[in-house]
């Protein structure tokens, strides 16, 4: 099965300190899958992708020494932040929507999506980490979440999430400005217990990279001005937090 | 020195048959280099990049099973189709223009451009070849050339160029339609003798990939309709030529 471009990589010059990852950057559904049995509205909504997340990540790479790996297909086809064995990897249901194309899926098609999307995405991440091993200290995954979920508004605006290694997320909470411009919470609106730390645990942890997942409420990053402002807020905060670790390393 | 994003990769799903390469995709000059002592006109012209080439290559990846690696900085900063020892790698002169920033360059800056642009670009190509080794048969580099060079108009419209391995270029000349829509020539408007086959010889040849460099006169790929039409012309021609080799392999 041909799914077209499944992963994009922007490789930074020199010695990147950070690898940014945006698993849910794209809402593209390959032509071979038609509309997956979904309405145009569903295919455009947050169940298909993380609106605004890619633009923020791209703005961040322009402001810091970082490479960026981002997905090229909708999370409805394969959610690259989930291992193949997870139910959410090729979800049959997302929030209020059934996903017909994922209910009526043959074992061959399931395997083809794993091989041609997840494996290709994972391998590209591993290769980028290998390429920059001498300079790389940090992985940051950038996500966005919907302001209203199952009809309930969410008050949290920025979530810092961690997987098995909580050091960077905890350190960012410590370096949080005393009067932060956004309502910021650790492990909200969900946490690793919800299975969202796969990329961090599978790729950053075994490679000794500090790591954190940043979740941004998507109504805050709708315009390119908002996206640039969010990047300009996150980059110095991340850089300062990272500098704290580097000082400790050289002691 | 930070040159920002120096290479972009669009990795195809599944088992790509071809790796497309566009070394001169971008006219971006990193902020740290200012205007390199050049006018806005020069920085926008074919001396800085290959206008239209990236769009054709991207259209091609949408029509065939191929990944794409493309440059993120102007060839004036570093020409990724030249080895570091070549004068043209960081040219001091291009057509009628002197390149002041490349004349007054310290040895450190020269080395920094090699390490942070050429090496990163080359490594990414090697990695993509490794990733797809089991399916990959062909490398195609996509370039464009100016219709008027040193005041002389060029009548050739499409050039098929080869490096040390001429098999694919020769085969494409054989499968050329009897009444081709473009004036098509082998090794024109220049050839490997002019040092333009570096990527083919350095990356495709040692990895056993068939390879060809396609040069398109840039006045033929100015609009997105022209770019899509050129891709739709090239893809079946390349695919048919490749099928000829694959038949021979299985005999």
Cβ of B3 and A14 within 8 Å?
yes
Cβ of A8 and B6 within 8 Å?
no
Chain A neighbours among B 138-177 (CB < 8 Å)?
A: none
User: Hey, what are B11's tokens?
Assistant: 């990795």
Position B250 scores a pLDDT of: 61
State chain A's maximal CA–CA distance in angstroms. Answer: 58
Cβ of B131 and A127 within 8 Å?
yes
Cβ of B11 and A13 within 8 Å?
no
Cβ of A131 and B120 within 8 Å?
yes
**Helical pair B224-250 and B53-63, crossing angle rounded to 10 deg:** 50
Task: Give me the tens of pLDDT residue by residue for chain B, a chain 251 residues long.
Answer: 789 999 999 999 888 999 999 999 999 999 999 999 999 999 999 999 999 999 999 999 999 999 999 999 999 999 999 999 999 999 999 887 899 999 989 999 999 999 999 999 999 999 999 999 999 999 999 999 999 998 999 999 999 999 999 999 999 999 998 899 999 999 999 998 889 999 999 999 999 999 999 999 999 999 999 999 999 999 999 999 999 998 776 65
Q: Is some CB atom of chain A closer than 8 A to the CB atom of B133?
A: no
Cβ of A5 and B14 within 8 Å?
no
* Cβ atoms B30, B43 nearer than 8 A: no
Q: Is some CB atom of chain B closer than 8 A to the CB atom of A116?
A: yes
Which of A3, A11, A57 has the most B C-beta neighbours within 10 Å, making it the best mutation to test the interface with B?
Answer: A11
Question: Closest chain B residue to A9 measured between Cα atoms?
Answer: B9
CA distances from B230 to B11, B58, B154, B178, B227 (A): 22, 11, 19, 17, 5
* Cβ atoms A200, A211 nearer than 8 A: yes
Q: Is some CB atom of chain B closer than 8 A to the CB atom of A131?
A: yes
Q: Please, what are the domains in chain A?
A: 7-250 (3.40.630.40)
Distance from CA of B119 to the nearest CA of A (A): 9
Q: Is some CB atom of chain B closer than 8 A to the CB atom of A6?
A: yes
Distance from CA of A64 to the nearest CA of B (A): 9
Query: Whats the size of chain A, residue-wise?
Result: 251
Whole-number CA gyration radius for chain B? 18
Q: Is some CB atom of chain B closer than 8 A to the CB atom of A62?
A: yes
Token pair 């001498």 is found at A134
E strands present in B76-165: 93-94, 97-98, 138-145, 148-149, 152-153, 158-161
Task: Give me the tens of pLDDT residue by residue for chain A, a chain 251 residues long.
Answer: 789 999 999 999 888 999 999 999 999 999 999 999 999 999 999 999 999 999 999 999 999 999 999 999 999 999 999 999 999 999 999 887 899 999 989 999 999 999 999 999 999 999 999 999 999 999 999 999 999 998 999 999 999 999 999 999 999 999 998 899 999 999 999 998 889 999 999 999 999 999 999 999 999 999 999 999 999 999 999 999 999 998 776 65
Which of B1, B8, B11 has the most A C-beta neighbours within 10 Å, making it the best mutation to test the interface with A?
Answer: B11
* Cβ atoms B50, B215 nearer than 8 A: no
Show residues of chain B in contact with A4, CB under 8 Å: 12-13, 61-62
Position B174 scores a pLDDT of: 96
- Give me the sign of the Cα torsion angle B79, B80, B81, B83: positive
Position B145 scores a pLDDT of: 97
Show residues of chain A in contact with B127, CB under 8 Å: 127, 131
**b/e map of A36-60 (b: 16 or more CB within 10 Å)?**
bebeeebbebbbbbbbbbbbbbbbb
Phi-psi region of B186 (alpha: psi -120 to 50; beta: other; left: phi over 0): beta
Instruction: Among B7, B11, B124, select the one facing A120 at the smallest CB separation.
Output: B11
Q: Is some CB atom of chain A closer than 8 A to the CB atom of B9?
A: yes
Distance CA B12, CA A27 (A): 16
Instruction: Among B2, B13, B120, select the one facing A4 at the smallest CB separation.
Output: B13
Cβ of B124 and A131 within 8 Å?
yes
Cβ of B115 and A4 within 8 Å?
no
* Cβ atoms B88, B31 nearer than 8 A: no
Instruction: Among B8, B12, B116, select the one facing A14 at the smallest CB separation.
Output: B116
Tally A–B CB contacts below 8 A: 97
Distance from CA of A72 to the nearest CA of B (A): 8
Instruction: Among A10, A13, A131, select the one facing B127 at the smallest CB separation.
Output: A131
**b/e map of B96-134 (b: 16 or more CB within 10 Å)?**
ebebebbeeeeeebeebbbebbbbbbbbbbbbbbebbee
Position A14 scores a pLDDT of: 81
Cβ of A4 and B120 within 8 Å?
no
């Amino acid at each position: 099965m041909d799914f077209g471009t499944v992963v994009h990589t922007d490789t930074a010059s020199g010695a990147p300190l950070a690898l940014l990852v945006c698993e849910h950057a794209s809402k593209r559904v390959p032509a071979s899958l038609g509309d997956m049995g979904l309405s145009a509205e569903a295919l455009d909504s947050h169940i298909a992708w993380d609106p605004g997340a890619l633009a923020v990540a791209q703005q961040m790479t322009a402001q810091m020494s970082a490479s960026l790996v981002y997905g090229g297909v909708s999370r409805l086809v394969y959610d690259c932040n989930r291992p193949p064995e997870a139910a959410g990897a090729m979800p049959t249901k997302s929030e209020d929507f059934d996903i017909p194309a994922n209910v009526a899926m043959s074992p061959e098609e399931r395997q083809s999506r794993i091989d041609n999307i997840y494996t290709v995405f994972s391998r590209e991440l591993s290769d980028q980490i290998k390429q920059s091993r001498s300079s790389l200290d940090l992985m940051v995954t950038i996500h966005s979440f919907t302001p209203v979920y199952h009809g309930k508004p969410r008050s949290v605006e920025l979530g810092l999430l961690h997987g098995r290694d909580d050091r960077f997320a905890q350190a960012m909470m410590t370096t949080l400005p005393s009067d932060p411009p956004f309502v910021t919470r650790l492990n909200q609106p969900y946490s690793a217990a919800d299975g969202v730390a796969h990329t961090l645990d599978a790729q950053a942890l075994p490679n000794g990279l500090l790591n954190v997942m940043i979740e941004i409420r998507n109504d805050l990053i709708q315009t390119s001005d908002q996206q640039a402002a969010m990047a300009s807020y996150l980059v110095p905060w991340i850089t300062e937090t990272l500098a704290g670790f580097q000082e400790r390393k050289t002691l």
